[in-house]
Each structure stands twice: as C-alpha cells, then as structure tokens.
C-alpha cells in the first residue's frame, strides 16, 4: 500500500535524516502566525475547531495518497490524518496542568503501522517540529473535559460527507467529529459554521512572503513542463502521452502532486472544459488544450496553453486563438488593486463579444455564452480554486485569468470553426500597481508558440 506521507513530511519527522529531504517547507513560525491571525478574528469568549482532512478510499482496501485539508495545513503544518485543532480566543485551563490558548489532538505513534506506511510525528514530533505546547493523542478527545457550553460562540467549518468510521480506531476523524457533535449537542445556538470559512478565506486570499516563494516555484516548474510539451508534441501522440510529458516534468522538478487532474484535450475534446479522459490519438489537424499545474509543498499553479498538434495554427485556429489572447490581455490589464473581482471577466467578455460578431460566429453579442460559458478568474493557492472574499482585488492575492472560446461540432456557425477550442490561462499577482503575470515567461503569442514547437525534445526520441 502507498505511504500516507510525502517526502517533505519525512523531512520534519525524521530529523536524523533531514539533510536528505526538502528544506524549503513552511516554518512552524509561519503556521503559528496564521493561528494568531485567525485568533484576532475571534470575538471574546469563543473558540474555533478545525479538523484534518478525511482519508479517501480508492477501491477495496486501497486508499488514495493522503492530502491534508488546506485550512488545517495552513494553521498547523501537519500533514497527517485523524487530527483536530482547537483555537481559543483566551488562554484556557484544563486539569490544572494544561494552560494554553490552543490544543491539538493527533495520532499516536505505532511502530507496527509505521513499518508499513512510514513514520508519523506523534505527540513529541508535533511539539518539537510544529511548535505546539499542548498536544494530546486523538483518542483522548472523547473523555477530554472541554465544556463548549462555556463559550459564547463555537466556530467550525461545514463537515464533508466522505468521513468513514474505522471501528478499530477510537481516535479517527469519524470519532473526533462524533464526539465534537456530542459535546456541542446542547448549545446549537452558539454553533457557527459560516464565519470561520469567511475568515479563513480572508487570510488565505493574501499570500505571505513564505507562500509566495512556494507559489513561484510551483508556477515556474509548471511553465517549464508546458514548454517541454510544446517541443515534444507531434501528430500521432496520444493525449495521455502529452500528459505524461507534462507530469514527468512536474515530478522531476520536485512536485509532489498535480494540483488537479490534468486536462489534455485534442480536437473535439478541446471544447470540453474539464475533459480528463485523455485517451484520444492526436491528428495533425487537432488543437490541443493543456490545462495542468504542479503542486509544490501544498501550493498549486494553474496554467493553460493551446497548441496546434502539427506545430502551425491554421487560419481559422489563428483567428480564434488571437481572439482569446486579446481577451486575456484585456483581462490581465484590468487586474488592478481596488477593481472588482469580475473586472477581468468583464474585460475579456467585451473582447470576445466584439470579435465573434465580427467573424459572424454569433449575431447578437449576448450569444457569446454559447462559446464562452465559464468565469475568467478564481483565486489560487493551497487550493486550485482557493478561498477569498471575491470583493475588491487586493495586493498580495493571486488569481487566474483564463478566457476561452469553444466551438463544438454542430454549433450554429460555419462548420469551418467546428472543433476549435482555445483557452489561455496565466497566474496573476495583484500588486500595488501593474499586475505581475507569474507565468508570463511561458510563450503564448502565435509566433512564439510556433517557434518553440520547432525545437526538439528528448521525449521525441522515446518510442
């Protein structure tokens, strides 16, 4: 069975071998600072309860590789399951020996299990490596004398429905949630499962300097991977082979995961927004949309390029491509501090409406949604669709700008446009002035793309 741990968890849990593992993980001071920032949102005499992410079953007795809940990781740095965090506004006293404004419940170490799935941090590791003063074992929570009725408000996030009960583990996530519900069953008026999500969105929307370093790394390795598939792409390649080139480049540079399932759609599949099958054989007349981003130490990039499989855009493809590129450039230009979040979308829509009417693809500007039916931007960070307030654009936030035009076969326009799907996406940092396109060094102009596609890739020699 696959280990639940990533390499960078081993970095912090195996101190004797730390020099062999990643050194650029977020520090315990970063996570403590994020807890302090959240505590400032809490009103007097209140607490916030945050649970680790659920383990997810793939099939039978095989689990997916564990991925921590981003909010829990942001606040703790812990990458292990079956844990919970309680943040108090004021210092609390329990059993006359515990005096703290936060408690964390974690898995106990188990040598037999660790021989199968790798070492975990345990109580001592969480104290020394993550900087928590008060750490308890998760199966202690059921009997822990925390009186939630004592607080005016108890904040938590909405529960997901994919938590399974391990009947042999009294400290698993199922049990932690169950006993939290039991302990709060008589104070329903004090429970708030709305505001904590709002506060976490406000915190995570603005990236700290340490986060920006990891975001830039994720985006840079993503751009390098996209550049490599531009060189490697050729007729006869399968969509999954193009995906393999991109994801190899991610992994070879140190990415732990893809940030989301890679979208690699050619020909008719270029018109499917979240196509993930990736099994088609690519023809020299196909356009290929590649929407793929590397995840690095929890932070993900989100970049899309559209490529002509034979290396040269046809006249029709070039027209649609340049419409999308113009729309994207207008959207990026609109990403200035103080602008409404949808400013980039409105700017992109205006271009697409005008140009599609000019080409006779639509008659009425309002019909643009037949071919551009999604939003242009979302926040980016620990989640590919990161939380944020979606109000005014604020310096320090990162958003995508990703307009597209998709004309599937059978559309109400000249058939010469059919099966042309184009999306161009970049990751944009909102600054105090001109936006910084973090992925802007990856070619996207027609002549730049065609020039790079003429270069040879080592992957072309793999048959």
The catalytic position among 205, 302, 383, 386 is: 302
Q: How far is CA 327 from the centre of its chain?
A: 24
205 is catalytic: no
Residue 378 annotated as catalytic: yes
Token pair listed for 232: 């490697």
The residues, any chain, with a CB within 8 Å of residue 210's CB and separated by 6 or more, are 26, 27, 30
* Other Cβ atoms within 10 Å of 111 Cβ, number: 7
| Set 205, 228, 286, 291: catalytic member | 291
| Catalytically annotated residue among 172, 402, 426, 427 | 402
Selecting among 61, 91, 143, 158, the annotated active-site residue is: 61
Radius of gyration of the chain (CA): 25
**Catalytic residue from among 283, 385, 441, 455:** 385
Active site residue 274: yes
Counting beta carbons within 10 angstroms of the beta carbon of residue 21, is it exposed (0 to 12), middle (13 to 18) or buried (19 or more)? middle
Separation CA 82–CA 72 (nearest Å): 11
**Can you tell me the distance from the alpha carbon of 199 to that of 449, in angstroms, rounded to the nearest whole number?**
42
Task: Judge contact between 42 and 87, C-beta under 8 A.
Answer: yes
108 is catalytic: no
Hey, what are 361's tokens?
Answer: 């693809």
Is residue 22 part of the annotated active site? The answer reads: no
Q: Is 345 a catalytic residue?
A: no
Cα(275)–Cα(405) distance, integer angstroms: 15
Catalytic residue (one of 90, 274, 414, 441): 274
Q: Which of 21, 22, 374, 390 is catalytic?
A: 374
Residue from 73, 205, 423, 426 carrying the catalytic annotation: 423
Alpha helices for 173-208 (secondary structure H): 173-183, 195-205
Of 155, 226, 406, 426, the catalytic one is 406
Is residue 96 annotated as part of the catalytic site, yes or no? no
Distance CA 15, CA 129 (A): 9
Q: Which of 31, 35, 345, 378 is catalytic?
A: 378
Give the per-residue SS3 of 396-420: CCEEEECCEEEECCCCCCCHHHCCE
Specify whether 192 is catalytic.
Answer: no
Catalytic residue (one of 55, 69, 211, 425): 425
> Does residue 114 carry a catalytic annotation?
no
- Catalytic, 95? Answer no
Q: Which residues contact 153 (CB under 8 A, 6 or more apart)?
A: 42, 43, 45, 46, 47, 190, 192
CA–centroid distance for 436 within its chain: 20
CA distance 224 to 366: 38
For 184-335, where are the alpha helices, taking DSSP H only?
A: 195-205, 209-232, 239-252, 315-333
- 385 counts as catalytic: yes
- Residues assigned a catalytic role: 61, 274, 291, 302, 374, 378, 385, 402, 406, 423, 425
């Amino acid at each position: 069975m696959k280990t639940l741990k990533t390499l960078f968890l081993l970095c912090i849990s195996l101190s004797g071998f730390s020099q062999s593992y990643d050194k650029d993980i977020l520090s315990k001071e970063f996570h403590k600072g994020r807890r302090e920032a959240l505590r400032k949102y809490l009103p007097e005499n209140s607490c916030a309860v945050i649970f680790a992410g659920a383990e997810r079953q793939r099939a039978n007795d095989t689990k997916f590789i564990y991925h921590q809940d981003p909010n829990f990781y942001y606040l703790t740095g812990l990458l292990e399951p079956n844990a919970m965090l309680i943040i108090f506004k004021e210092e609390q006293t329990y059993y006359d020996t515990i005096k703290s404004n936060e408690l964390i419940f974690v898995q106990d170490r188990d040598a037999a299990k660790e021989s199968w799935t790798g070492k975990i941090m345990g109580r001592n590791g969480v104290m020394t490596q993550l900087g928590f003063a008060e750490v308890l074992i998760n199966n202690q929570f059921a009997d822990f004398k925390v009186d939630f009725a004592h607080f005016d408000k108890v904040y938590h996030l909405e529960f997901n429905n994919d938590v399974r009960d391990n009947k042999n583990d009294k400290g698993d996530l199922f049990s932690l949630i169950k006993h939290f519900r039991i302990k709060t069953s008589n104070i329903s008026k004090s429970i708030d499962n709305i505001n904590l999500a709002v506060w976490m969105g406000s915190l995570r929307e603005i990236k700290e300097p340490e986060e920006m370093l990891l975001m830039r790394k994720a985006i840079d390795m993503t751009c390098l991977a996209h550049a490599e598939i531009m060189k490697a792409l050729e007729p006869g390649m399968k969509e999954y082979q193009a995906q393999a080139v991109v994801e190899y480049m991610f992994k070879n540079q140190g990415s732990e995961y893809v940030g989301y399932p890679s979208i690699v759609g050619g020909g008719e599949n270029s018109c499917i927004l979240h196509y993930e099958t990736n099994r088609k054989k690519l023809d020299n007349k196909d356009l290929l949309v590649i929407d793929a981003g590397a995840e690095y130490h929890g932070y993900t990039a989100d970049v899309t390029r559209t490529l002509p499989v034979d290396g040269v855009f046809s006249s029709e493809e070039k027209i649609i491509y340049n419409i999308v590129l113009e729309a994207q450039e207008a959207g990026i230009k609109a990403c200035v501090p103080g602008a409404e979040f949808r400013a980039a979308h409105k700017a992109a829509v205006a271009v697409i409406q005008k140009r599609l009417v000019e080409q006779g693809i639509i008659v009425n500007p309002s019909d643009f949604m037949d071919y551009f039916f999604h939003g242009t931007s979302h926040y980016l960070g620990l989640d590919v669709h990161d939380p944020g307030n979606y109000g005014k654009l604020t310096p320090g936030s990162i958003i995508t700008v990703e307009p597209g035009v998709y004309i599937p076969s059978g559309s109400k326009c000249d058939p010469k446009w059919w099966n042309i799907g184009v999306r161009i996406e970049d990751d944009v940092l909102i600054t105090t002035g001109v936006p910084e396109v973090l992925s802007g060094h990856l070619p996207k102009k027609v002549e730049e793309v065609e020039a790079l596609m003429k270069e040879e890739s080592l992957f072309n020699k793999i048959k």
